[in-house]
Structure 1
Amino acid sequence: MFASDNGLKGDPRLDAISRAIRVIPHFPKPGIMFQDITTLLLDPKAFKDTVDIFVDRYRHMGIDVVAGIEARGFMFGPAIALAIGAKFVPLRKPRKLPGEVISESYVLEYGTDCLEMHVGAVNPGDKAIVIDDLVATGGTLSAAIKLLERPGGEVVECACVIGLPKFKVNSKIKGKPLYILVEPTEIDDFC
């Protein structure tokens, strides 16, 4: 579900957030229109508005865990977790977390990857949300859901700053609601 379809239609914050995201053509490879959120982070008002919209959505949902996907989910997740009184759980790439971890592999377009989480970070019955900057195929979010559910967590929703238009039609990942703030910005003269 896009924020503009859920009570925020015409909200000027969404336009400002969208304008604050820089598009880098052909990065990291030809044909990719990279959505660079670092420029959003450089705009204190747009960054705060992004966090505030998520906080307003999740403040009264009884969320115990905000899980951020490495690395850009780490930019938004901790601030949201603090504001709603939840713990922040980092979901990291392999061999980045010290101590005992559980892991979940997932398929990419050209290979596989893996997310890891500390054992004991999520308890049975914990209500969780998953935060990332962008959803393209949903593979990483699907792995995050599986990882959080293995110890008995309940994923309430996944949330991303940017989502491809195809998610307007299918706003679920593994049966879980998907909440998206803005669609990717385009460059008019990109071929």
Structure 2
Amino acid sequence: QGPFQLVTDKVTTLAWENTGDLNLFQDNNGDAYIIYTAHIDGQIYNPNHLMSVEKLSDDYLSSLGKEFNSGYFGETFVEAPAMFKRNGIYYAVFGQCCCYCAEGSSVTVYNSSSPLGPFSTMNNLGNEGHAQQYNILQYKTTENEGYGYLWQGNRWQSSPDGAKGHDFTYWSPLSFDQDGNIKYMNYTANFTIDVISNLQ
């Protein structure tokens, strides 16, 4: 709840410089990770939006660098990462770069048995919601002992006044098959979930 205090204005321990979008993930044992994209020199890697996962220090205030980094994996030219764990499988999910595009972008899923990989391509979730991913929200429902997962994306250029901060968002519950694969996201006009609000 805060108040929050700035500890450092620039983390210098990351394996890759010129970081782009990022997200955080905490494992069941308390270990935490940052999943992020990096804008590497285009003369070396082209396109240059690389994605990787890196372990944070015990106090969560810095990262542990290349020795605890997954290395870049999968496709390049991606952004808006999210990471979660379900039934022992780690999922790394990224959207394709589209720079505030009204049509949205496709979503690619990678999985691993370890938070630092190696990650392999699982499947593509499509883009029927015409949105660009910004997060995957974990939630607990009253009907099930596990967690549910809600995909969240920005619908760029959708606001009546044209302001990016007023754009609408598109949310869609994720579904899984018996092997743990995330099913293709068909367009969902509306849905209802019964969420427990007093999680500890």
Instruction: Tell me the TM-score normalized by structure 1.
Output: 0.25
With a CA cutoff of 8 Å and minimum separation of 6, indicate the structure with the bigger relative contact order: 1
More strand by share: 2
More helix by share: 1
Larger of the two Rg values belongs to structure: 2
Instruction: Tell me the TM-score normalized by structure 2.
Output: 0.24
